[in-house]
């Protein structure tokens, strides 16, 4: 059996470097930019000669703006935005880049890692005007980024950028350019959870259930912007109207068909103006992104008799995360080899500020770490379809010191693994 590593190893955006660097950009909150800014999508550059997949991209992805993230090690490391017209990318920019708590967008030109910023700009420049197939080119950054002051282009962590770009596409349109195609994936009955992150923080965490194609039980598990936890605000706070408006979102969606999530792109049609906060400026696109993320991850809590089918995926390494309550709780890595899971490792395990991977034997919570190691051991060498077993962990996770295997939140691990598969090979 392949050795399973529960502890994992943290890596930056540059191999062999202690950190990485990237440019800063303006951010937006739980209210959107002006309608003019919202409608403004950067004009696409001429199509490159190698745009062989543009026709396929046109059929799959709508014109407009997309946003995605890559997370690992308990932090949001890459947040990226780009515009898409006729399958061609433009306006590519990094909204946030971070490693081990350092916001590299704040670095000055004389910083030792400033060359890495320049290399990332070169990657963005390369993507502009190219078809979506160019995303895979980013995994070979040495062919794109120059060597600068001892930093070689080949050591840039292009896989993190590619993962964030694919996440953006998976989440569907963030700001539509030419109307909307209201197409949603098939969703089985049960409970779903998803998140939207930007600017280095988890801003929206949402939960809902689907019953025969109808939305029910919608709730926000987390609402935050620039450190303000909106769910903790009290009436009378100047930002409380935004809380009311998000409650109106849940009330509007309740009992409607799943495709009603596309109405979140026009929130002014169903959200009231409250104390000077207009419904039209609510960032419904962030809620839409979180709900699409939830659907992409599959069922969080399935009913009895749910489908256990898992489609095939390419061989290679995969990385994904599960987040909730404003924090990254699970970060996982694994390999697929002929449809078999290998080399499972938890790169991050946290809950309410406790880093489980840093616990020592004898800690009252250490049994939970041991149980997660049992999850990794169980999955190793099994077919990919075995991730479905994570919905019934009591069948293979032992009871330890009063912590029962059946109560381990293995569905969080399932969600992280589905996220990894959605992103493609790392």
**pLDDT (tens digit per residue) in 100-129:** 887 877 889 999 888 888 888 899 999 999
**CB of 189 closer than 8 Å to CB of 211:** yes
**pLDDT (tens digit per residue) in 9-52:** 332 444 333 333 333 344 446 554 333 333 333 333 333 333 33
Q: What is the dihedral of CA 20, 77, 137, 343, to 10 degrees?
A: 110
Which tokens in the block code for residue 112? 């030792």
pTM: 0.86
- Residue 17 sits at the vertex; the CA angle it makes with 12 and 18, to the nearest 5 degrees, is 70
Q: Give the Cα separation of 289 and 170 in Å (integer).
A: 9
**CB of 289 closer than 8 Å to CB of 248:** no
Helix residue ranges per DSSP H, 359-409: 366-379
CB atoms within 10 A of CB 308: 12
- pLDDT, residue 15, reads 34
Q: Give the Cα separation of 174 and 287 in Å (integer).
A: 10
Which tokens in the block code for residue 252? 């509007």
- pLDDT, residue 56, reads 35
The partner residues of 341 in beta bridges, in order of sequence, read: 336
- pLDDT, residue 72, reads 96
Residue 169 pLDDT class (50, 70, 90 cuts): very high
- pLDDT, residue 30, reads 58
Could you give the count of Cα atoms lying within 13 Å of 17 in the half-sphere of its Cβ?
A: 21
Which tokens in the block code for residue 416? 């992280």
Specify the 3-state DSSP secondary structure of 218.
Answer: strand
Looking up tokens 């950054």, which residue turns up? Answer: 141
**CB of 156 closer than 8 Å to CB of 116:** yes
**CB of 285 closer than 8 Å to CB of 175:** yes
| Residue 78 in this model has a pLDDT that exceeds 80 | yes
Sign of CA dihedral 38, 39, 42, 46: positive
- pLDDT, residue 308, reads 72
First-residue to last-residue Cα distance in the chain: 23
Q: Which residues contact 321 (CB under 8 A, 6 or more apart)?
A: 71, 72, 328, 330, 331, 332, 348, 416, 419
**pLDDT (tens digit per residue) in 268-299:** 999 999 998 999 889 999 999 999 999 999 99
CA 164 remoteness from chain centre: 7
């Amino acid at each position: 059996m392949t050795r399973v590593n529960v502890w994992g190893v943290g890596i930056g955006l540059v191999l062999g470097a202690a950190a990485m660097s990237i440019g800063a950009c303006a951010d937006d909150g739980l209210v959107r930019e002006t309608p003019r800014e919202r409608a403004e999508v950067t004009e696409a550059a001429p199509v490159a000669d190698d745009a062989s997949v543009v026709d396929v991209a046109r059929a799959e992805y709508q014109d407009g703006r997309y946003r995605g993230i890559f997370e690992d090690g308990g932090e949001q490391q890459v947040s990226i935005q780009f515009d898409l017209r006729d399958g061609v990318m433009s306006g590519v920019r990094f909204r946030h880049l971070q490693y081990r708590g350092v916001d590299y967008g704040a670095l000055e030109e004389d910083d030792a890692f400033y060359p890495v910023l320049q290399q990332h700009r070169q990657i963005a420049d390369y993507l502009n005007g190219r078809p979506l197939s160019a995303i895979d080119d980013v995994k070979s950054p040495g062919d794109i980024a120059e060597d600068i002051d001892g930093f070689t282009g080949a050591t840039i962590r292009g896989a993190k950028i590619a993962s964030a770009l694919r996440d953006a596409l998976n989440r569907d349109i963030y700001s539509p350019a030419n109307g909307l195609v209201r197409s949603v994936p098939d969703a089985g009955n049960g409970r779903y959870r998803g998140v939207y992150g930007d600017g280095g923080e988890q801003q929206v965490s949402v939960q809902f259930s689907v019953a025969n194609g109808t939305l029910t039980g919608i709730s926000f598990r987390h609402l935050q912007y620039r450190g303000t936890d909106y769910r903790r605000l009290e009436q009378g706070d100047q930002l409380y109207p935004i809380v009311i408006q998000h409650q109106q979102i849940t009330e509007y969606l309740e009992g409607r068909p799943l495709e009603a999530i596309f109405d979140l792109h026009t929130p002014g049609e169903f959200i009231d103006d409250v104390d000077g906060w207009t419904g039209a400026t609510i960032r419904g696109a962030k809620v839409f992104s979180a709900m699409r993320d939830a659907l992409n991850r599959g069922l969080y809590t399935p009913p009895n008799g749910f489908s256990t089918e898992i489609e095939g995926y390419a061989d290679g390494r995969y990385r994904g995360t599960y987040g909730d309550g404003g924090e990254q709780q699970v970060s996982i890595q694994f390999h697929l080899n002929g449809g078999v899971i290998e080399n499972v490792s938890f790169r991050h395990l946290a809950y309410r500020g406790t880093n489980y991977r840093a616990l020592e034997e004898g800690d009252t919570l250490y049994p939970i770490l041991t149980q997660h190691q049992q999850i990794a051991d169980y999955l190793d060498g099994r077919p990919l379809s075995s991730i479905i077993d994570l919905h019934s962990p009591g069948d293979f996770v032992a009871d330890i010191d009063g912590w029962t295997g059946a109560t381990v939140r293995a569905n969080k691990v399932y969600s992280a693994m589905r996220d990894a598969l959605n992103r493609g090979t790392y």
